Amino acid sequence: MANSVEKSCTMLVYNDKQASATEIKEALEGNDPLAKQAAMKKAVSLLLAGEQLPQLFITIVRYVLPSEDHTVQKLLLLYLEAIEKTDSTGKLLPEMILICQNLRNNLQHPNEYIRGVTLRFLCRIKEEEILEPLVPSILANLEHRHSYVRRNAVLAINSIYKLPKGELLLADAPETIERLLRQEQDLSTRRNCLAMLTNHATDRAIRYLLDSADQLGTWGDLLQLSALDLIRKACRSSPADKGKFIKTILVLLQSPSPAVMYECAVTLTSLSSAPSAVRAAANCFCSLLVSHSDNNVKLIVLDRLQELKEKHREVMTDMVMDTLRALASPSLDIRKKTLDISLELITARNIDEVISVLKKEVVKTQNKEYDKAGEYRQMLVQAIHSCAVKFPEVAGNVVHVLMDFLGDSNTASALDVIFFVREIMETNARLRPSVLERLHTVFYQIRSSRVVSCALWIMGEYCASTPEILAALATLKESLGPVPFLVEGAEGEEAAAGGSAGGAPGGSSSAGPAAVGSKRPAVLADGTYATQVAVAELPSAASAPATGAGSGPNLRTLLLAGDFFLGGVVAGTQVKLLLRLAGLKEVPAAQLNARFAEAMQYVVAALRLGESAGATPTPMDADSRDRMMLCLRVLAGQDSWSNSVWLEDCRRAFSSLTSEKQREISARTAREEARAAVQPDDLIDFQVLKNRKGLSQLEVEDEVTSDLARATGYTEAAAAASSRLNRVLQLTGLSDPVYAEAVVTVHQYDIVLDVTVTNRTSETMQALCLELATMGDLKLVERPQNYTLAPGDTKLIRANIKVSSTETGVIFGNIVYEGTGYAERSVVVLNDIHIDIMDYISPAFCPDVQFRNMWAEFEWENKVAVATTFSDVAPFLQHIVATTNMKCLTPPSALEGECGYLAANLYAKSVFGEDALVNVSVEKTLPAAGGEAGRLVGYIRIRSKTQGIALSLGDKITLMQKVPVPTTTAAA
């Protein structure tokens, strides 16, 4: 079996019930057609399973060939397809001659079904000895009255003409098929004829296509798709002639068939880079995007638009409004991809229209029945934020609409809105008064602690005039409610009693909120006992909103729930407002002192609430207490040295962060839009000097863009060749009888292994086979075939491997061959090929908010301890970024300085759409007593949605962080 080559298989049949040859033979010899059908099915299944049934052949010739049952005849053809027709030397078996007469009779049968299935059977026959006597009958079927027979006859002629001796068996087949094509009316038959001419007589097919150019619009979709296949093949063989086919493609673009439209657009973009052609293809894709209801089709079309955007951004900017029409789809994936494409096509000319569309979509999400309104609104807010960063002048059109959603129950969406407002306040000074006024109006609706904290920071930093500061203080006072939050002694009892009376069923205040108190004993400074009560306003059933959030003052509710970090934010906001109010000197001293005293009263009330055991669900943390105490000292005038920090440094830090973020976005955009430079010795092309005789405007544009592509494509080709040389891996030694080296190419879900094998001996190697096996999430698609290598000969063997996840894998194997004079096979073991995770991931960018959300969501974490020879934190981070092929999201300004401690976030995305998150936290220890330099300690934490990428990236970091650092010696 060493020399045997695997047979080709044209069908697979599952068989779970085995039958003996005797049972099949008895059933075939009977007269029951149903029993014969069952027996033939069993015989075919056994043959496909590898069984040899030579004793059945004569029985089938005697009892099955004469049968008139159509199903039995169909099964007979499947049996003849499955049996071995040649001997070990490749010669036709003598008994096969017996079936030739039966096949000829079938081709002349009065029933068109028998003729058709026999012609389909002949498409899978490769033996010329069987086909040669049947050629006249096959040609005669081209004139049959039924189209089913004619189109199968064309298929049979096509397959016979492809055989090595096909041109001898059918010498004038192209002429015959062309003649049939010009007079045929059946669509499927014409399609098969055109496909046959495309494969074997391209010049005749092109001539027919050009002659029928006026009738292309009336062709059926099958024939139009076949015409597109012809155009693609013709342009591959002779690119210079593609100009005459572009008009034909533009005609086919008007086809009512979505499949034809899509294929036309893809063909047009692959053949031409002319702006007119790209615009026509983009229009076609956009119409499919709107007219087709299948989400899978829309996603595929969006991928094509993404490709067009990357190559022809200038043309696609005119199509942004057509692309945005896909937002009508209910699928979030389609909406997200549509927004991603559209945001990169925004220019000063279309920004107003895009913002108008996004604004209308945001308003639509207010509908309660809108599917996944919160997630969609979040995407829209992020899109508007991105637009406002690029074009600040449009922020005023949308910021007031978006601020209505600050009280949204979807915290992520509300956070995006408040972050957008914060950035607008910094970058657009003329909008500050109106935005602050709107913020005071909607502040009471905010129920999320993080959103409230950011809103308070905005008020504390950007309220500059006396009316704005007083309005902000009034808003704070109303949101905090009356003080104290914690009442002692008899006042507490009265408050509790009053609260009970207010909440009584018969009370007149049943529509308002009820105040409840929890009593507990407390020890006073003099050792006596007193009663303390935590007063909280609870919503009544009538006034409670549908969201379930409390209807009392929002800041008071959050403080009584134990959010003391928010208490520190409130205290800091009051400090900033009052210090700025004091600096303006527009308020009388008595009134100003009263404001300071009132603020101190709120801070003390929050501190007493936090220090009372059991008053809140969670105790006050030390950081929040220290912050509130600091604010209290500042309000009391004891820490006046820190006033500049409150009034200037906080704002300056955020301003530098915003400006650095904008610089990074601009630099990233410039890198993405960078084009390859033209070589200095390239020809200069003048479009106005082109010879326009007999050419349309589209053909002239295509010729110019083709010349430009040839002029600028050399550097890309050279870079690709250089990259390929860097991926060469040696698989065997130079002293082995077979030298092998491989080039590994990773392309998304496919790994292509190009193995070059050289016979280094003086003998011929027979049945040489490359045997491969995989470990990990890799799968070998097909087994390479056997080859014969002459002495010194070289063969390129290609193997395809499928990969389904981002995980490190190993490919191992050997080369097996037979030499002349050897009884046993020789084996050469190959070096293992490690598929690195770096081939799958690439640096990517994501906002900080998205990074934190994914960090909290992902469940797989790999914690790697830092163990390296690096002595400084900054070079160590650069080394990790370079070796893991990730992007550092932490801005460079945050990494500056020498403090001996570093924390940074890294991010990358795999070709499968997986996210890889890395947090690097390292610290440099103090020098040892003996003068030895301090070492780096800390952890690198990796998080991902899947286990494979977390483990593989952790192994990579563990291996690479131990690389020794090159040292330089000082000159003596």
Please give the DSSP secondary-structure letter assigned to residue 636: T
Which pLDDT band holds residue 502 (cuts at 50, 70, 90)? very low
Longest dimension (CA), the chain: 122
- Cα–Cα distance measured from residue 953 to residue 942, given in angstroms and rounded to the nearest whole number: 8
Which pLDDT belongs to residue 704?
56
- Tokens, residue 743: 């080039």
Which pLDDT belongs to residue 963?
57
pTM over 0.85: no
Q: What are phi and psi of 741, to 5 degrees?
A: -140, 155
The tens digit of pLDDT for each residue in 627-641 reads 999 999 998 887 777
Which pLDDT belongs to residue 664?
79
Region 311-329 average pLDDT: 89
Strands 809-819 and 738-747: unpaired
Which pLDDT belongs to residue 313?
85
- Tokens, residue 479: 């949101």
Buried b (16+ CB within 10 A) or exposed e, 173-194: bbebbbebbeebeeebbbbbbb
Q: Is the pLDDT of residue 152 over 90?
A: yes
Region 687-698 average pLDDT: 52
Q: Is the pLDDT of residue 506 over 60?
A: no
Q: Is the pLDDT of residue 715 over 70?
A: no
Q: Is the pLDDT of residue 488 over 80?
A: no
Region 530-538 average pLDDT: 48
Which pLDDT band holds residue 681 (cuts at 50, 70, 90)? low
Strands 794-803 and 826-829: unpaired
- Cα–Cα distance measured from residue 503 to residue 640, given in angstroms and rounded to the nearest whole number: 46
The tens digit of pLDDT for each residue in 63-84 reads 887 788 888 888 888 888 888 8
Which pLDDT band holds residue 900 (cuts at 50, 70, 90)? confident
Range with lowest mean pLDDT among 115-124, 453-462, 749-758, 817-826 = 817-826
Helix (H) or strand (E) holding 167: helix 166-169
CB atoms within 10 A of CB 255: 20
- Cα–Cα distance measured from residue 874 to residue 897, given in angstroms and rounded to the nearest whole number: 9
Provide DSSP, 56-119: HHHHHHHHTTT---HHHHHHHHHHHHHS--B-TTSPBPGGGHHHHHHHHHHHT-SSHHHHHHHH
Share of the chain above pLDDT 90, in %: 22
Range with lowest mean pLDDT among 518-527, 658-667, 731-740, 768-777 = 518-527
Helix (H) or strand (E) holding 751: strand 750-759
- Cα–Cα distance measured from residue 493 to residue 501, given in angstroms and rounded to the nearest whole number: 12
Which pLDDT band holds residue 806 (cuts at 50, 70, 90)? low
Contact call for residues 196 and 154 (beta carbons, < 8 A): yes
Tokens 């005697």 found at: 62
Range with lowest mean pLDDT among 36-50, 445-459, 493-507 = 493-507
- Cα–Cα distance measured from residue 690 to residue 170, given in angstroms and rounded to the nearest whole number: 46
Range with lowest mean pLDDT among 47-51, 56-60, 281-285 = 47-51
Which pLDDT belongs to residue 776?
72
Q: Is the pLDDT of residue 474 over 90?
A: yes
- Cα–Cα distance measured from residue 659 to residue 653, given in angstroms and rounded to the nearest whole number: 10
Region 833-860 average pLDDT: 82
- Tokens, residue 607: 């501190």
- Tokens, residue 20: 């003996």
Which pLDDT band holds residue 149 (cuts at 50, 70, 90)? very high
Higher pLDDT, 936 or 682: 936
Strands 809-819 and 765-775: antiparallel
What is the chain's length?
A: 972
- Cα–Cα distance measured from residue 455 to residue 403, given in angstroms and rounded to the nearest whole number: 11
- Cα–Cα distance measured from residue 955 to residue 242, given in angstroms and rounded to the nearest whole number: 51
Q: 215-223 long-range CB contacts below 8 Å, 24 or more apart?
A: 216/248, 216/251, 216/252, 217/251, 217/254, 217/255, 219/187, 220/187, 220/191, 221/255, 221/257, 221/259, 221/260, 222/187, 222/188, 222/191, 223/187, 223/190, 223/191, 223/194
Q: Is the pLDDT of residue 515 over 50?
A: no
Helix (H) or strand (E) holding 130: helix 128-131
Range with lowest mean pLDDT among 485-489, 576-580, 787-791, 829-833 = 485-489
Which pLDDT band holds residue 2 (cuts at 50, 70, 90)? very low
Contact call for residues 908 and 885 (beta carbons, < 8 A): yes
The tens digit of pLDDT for each residue in 570-594 reads 999 999 999 999 888 888 999 999 9
Contact call for residues 36 and 28 (beta carbons, < 8 A): yes
Region 222-231 average pLDDT: 90
Q: What are phi and psi of 922, to 5 degrees?
A: -130, 155
Which pLDDT belongs to residue 51?
76
Buried b (16+ CB within 10 A) or exposed e, 903-930: ebbbbbbbebebbbbbbbebbbeeeeee
- Cα–Cα distance measured from residue 967 to residue 76, given in angstroms and rounded to the nearest whole number: 79
Region 474-502 average pLDDT: 62
Region 325-330 average pLDDT: 90
Higher pLDDT, 967 or 837: 837
CA distances to 466, 633, 914 from 582, rounded to whole Å, are 10, 16, 53
Which pLDDT belongs to residue 157?
93
- Cα–Cα distance measured from residue 901 to residue 896, given in angstroms and rounded to the nearest whole number: 11
- Cα–Cα distance measured from residue 711 to residue 499, given in angstroms and rounded to the nearest whole number: 84
The tens digit of pLDDT for each residue in 915-955 reads 899 999 999 887 765 556 678 899 999 998 888 788 888 88
Q: Is the pLDDT of residue 565 over 80?
A: yes
Higher pLDDT, 965 or 336: 336
**What mean pLDDT is reported for the chain?**
80
Rg from Cα positions in the chain: 40
Which pLDDT band holds residue 540 (cuts at 50, 70, 90)? very low
Q: Is the pLDDT of residue 517 over 50?
A: no
Q: Is the pLDDT of residue 547 over 50?
A: no
- Cα–Cα distance measured from residue 438 to residue 404, given in angstroms and rounded to the nearest whole number: 9
Which residues touch 368 (CB under 8 Å, ≥6 apart)? none
Q: Is the pLDDT of residue 430 over 60?
A: yes
CB atoms within 10 A of CB 291: 10
The strand pairing partners of 199, in sequence order, are none
Which pLDDT belongs to residue 469?
92
Region 120-132 average pLDDT: 87
Q: What are phi and psi of 202, to 5 degrees?
A: -60, -35
Which pLDDT belongs to residue 957?
87
Which pLDDT belongs to residue 933?
66
Q: Is the pLDDT of residue 505 over 50?
A: no
Q: Is the pLDDT of residue 117 over 70?
A: yes
- Cα–Cα distance measured from residue 41 to residue 24, given in angstroms and rounded to the nearest whole number: 10
Q: Which of 805, 756, 754 is nearest to 779 (CA)?
A: 805
The tens digit of pLDDT for each residue in 230-286 reads 998 888 888 777 777 888 888 888 888 999 999 999 988 888 878 888 888 999 999
Which residues touch 377 (CB under 8 Å, ≥6 apart)? 362, 365, 405, 408, 410, 413
Region 850-876 average pLDDT: 87
Provide DSSP, 660-721: HHHHHHHHHHHHHH--PPPPTTSPPP-GGGS--TT--HHHHHHHHHHHHHHHHSHHHHHHHH
- Tokens, residue 424: 């607008």
Per DSSP, the three-state class of 937 is strand
Region 377-387 average pLDDT: 86
Which pLDDT band holds residue 967 (cuts at 50, 70, 90)? very low
Q: What are phi and psi of 757, to 5 degrees?
A: -115, 130
Q: Is the pLDDT of residue 487 over 90?
A: no
Which pLDDT belongs to residue 549?
40
As a whole number of Å, the end-to-end CA separation of the chain is 73
- Tokens, residue 478: 């109303």
Contact call for residues 759 and 792 (beta carbons, < 8 A): yes
Contact call for residues 193 and 156 (beta carbons, < 8 A): no
Residue 395 CA, distance from chain mean position: 30
Provide DSSP, 872-932: SHHHHHHHHHHHHT-EE-S-GGGG-S--SEEEEEEEEEETTS-EEEEEEEEEEPPPPTTSP
